């Protein structure tokens, strides 16, 4: 199935485009340098997913999104964010395919008239 929009690619770009901490280069790790940002702060992860900080903590508590502790700080691995977006995308694609299959099964020629009583509809007089 061809995808019109690649959400995982968009999430990867959003992670790469995150600004660095003050005094650090953009996209850099805490040790400096210009490598990929492997661990995101909670506000950064929330910004990438475009959800509130509270919603992100809810996802963490519910086990839908993985996080790690670094000292006293909570960090969200970039891979966990990408995996979460991939799972959401796959789930949405499966729901859409099921909905389309159900619609195709109920809209065959003449089928809807036979199903009027089942649908709670009344035949016109």
46 falls within a domain? yes
- What is the domain extent for residue 91? 36-105
* pTM exceeding 0.75: no
The rounded distance, in Å, linking the Cα atoms of 94 and 16 is 29
111 falls within a domain? no
The per-residue DSSP string of 60-108 comes to: HHTTSS--EEETTEEEEEHHHHHHHHHHHHHHHHHHHHHHHHHHHHH-S
In the chain, the number of structural domains is 1
66 falls within a domain? yes
Residue whose token pair is 């691995």: 77
pLDDT-based confidence at residue 104 (cuts at 50, 70, 90)? confident
| pLDDT (tens digit per residue) in 45-101 | 999 999 999 999 999 999 999 999 999 999 999 999 999 999 999 999 999 988 888
| pLDDT (tens digit per residue) in 33-47 | 556 789 999 999 999
116 falls within a domain? no
| pLDDT (tens digit per residue) in 107-120 | 654 565 666 666 66
6 falls within a domain? no
78 falls within a domain? yes
Beta bridge partners of 77: 39
């Amino acid at each position: 199935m061809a995808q019109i929009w690649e959400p995982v690619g968009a999430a990867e770009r959003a992670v790469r485009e995150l600004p660095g901490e003050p005094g650090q280069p953009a996209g850099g790790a805490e040790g400096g340098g210009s490598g990929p940002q492997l661990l995101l702060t909670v506000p950064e992860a929330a910004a990438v997913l475009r959800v509130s900080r509270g919603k992100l903590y809810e996802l963490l508590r519910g086990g839908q999104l993985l996080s790690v502790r670094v000292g006293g700080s909570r960090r969200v691995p970039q891979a966990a964010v990408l995996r979460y977006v991939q799972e959401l995308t796959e789930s949405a694609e499966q729901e859409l395919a099921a909905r389309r299959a159900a619609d195709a099964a109920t809209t065959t020629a003449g089928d809807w008239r036979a199903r009027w009583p089942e649908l709670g509809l009344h035949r016109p007089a």
